[in-house]
């Protein structure tokens, strides 16, 4: 199951990501937090925390049980999720930072 996701929002985002996560893995594009606090103070890059929210851009087929049955994923492409702070592996493809993680590293789905 190959997933393609196109996002024509910005000129630099106008690229195609082709990844096929295996088993119960998902590919998440982190959503950066605001650079300014409510009181108007700008946060420098060195003081920013790692994002914990993102959008799913690719989903694997699901986990296999010991008897060979596939358990379907609860997530789908386009879902906004909150994930564990240090969960997953960070990768960079075409100057776009992505995180590959297991479905179990995702804490909640935003509706």
Per-domain residue ranges of the chain: 3-110
Q: Check pLDDT > 70 for residue 72.
A: yes
Q: How far is CA 21 from each of CA 13, 41, 48, 51, 104, rounded to the nearest angstrom?
A: 21, 39, 29, 21, 14
Rounded CA-CA distance 86/98 in Å is: 13
The CATH number of domain 3-110 is 1.10.3720.10: no
Q: Check pLDDT > 70 for residue 75.
A: yes
Task: Provide the residue count of the chain.
Answer: 111
Torsion (CA) 9, 7, 32, 28 in degrees, nearest 10:
170
Mean pLDDT calculated for residue range 31-47: 72
Q: Check pLDDT > 80 for residue 16.
A: no
Residues 6 or more apart whose Cβ sits within 8 Å of residue 66: none
Predicted confidence at residue 8, as pLDDT, reads 46
E-assigned strand segments in the chain? 3-5, 17-19, 25-30, 53-59, 63-64, 70-71, 80-83, 89-93, 96-102, 106-110
Predicted confidence at residue 94, as pLDDT, reads 86
């Amino acid at each position: 199951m190959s997933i393609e996701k196109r996002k024509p929002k910005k000129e630099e985002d106008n690229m195609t990501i082709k990844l096929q996560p295996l088993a119960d893995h998902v590919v998440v594009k982190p959503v950066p937090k605001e650079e300014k606090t409510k009181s108007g103070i700008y946060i420098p890059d060195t003081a920013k925390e790692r994002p914990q929210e993102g959008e799913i851009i690719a989903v694997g087929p699901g986990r296999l049980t010991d008897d060979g049955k596939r358990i379907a994923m609860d997530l789908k492409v386009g879902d906004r999720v909150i994930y564990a702070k240090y969960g997953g592996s960070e990768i960079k493809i075409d100057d776009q930072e992505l995180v590959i993680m297991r479905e179990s590293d995702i804490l909640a789905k935003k509706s």
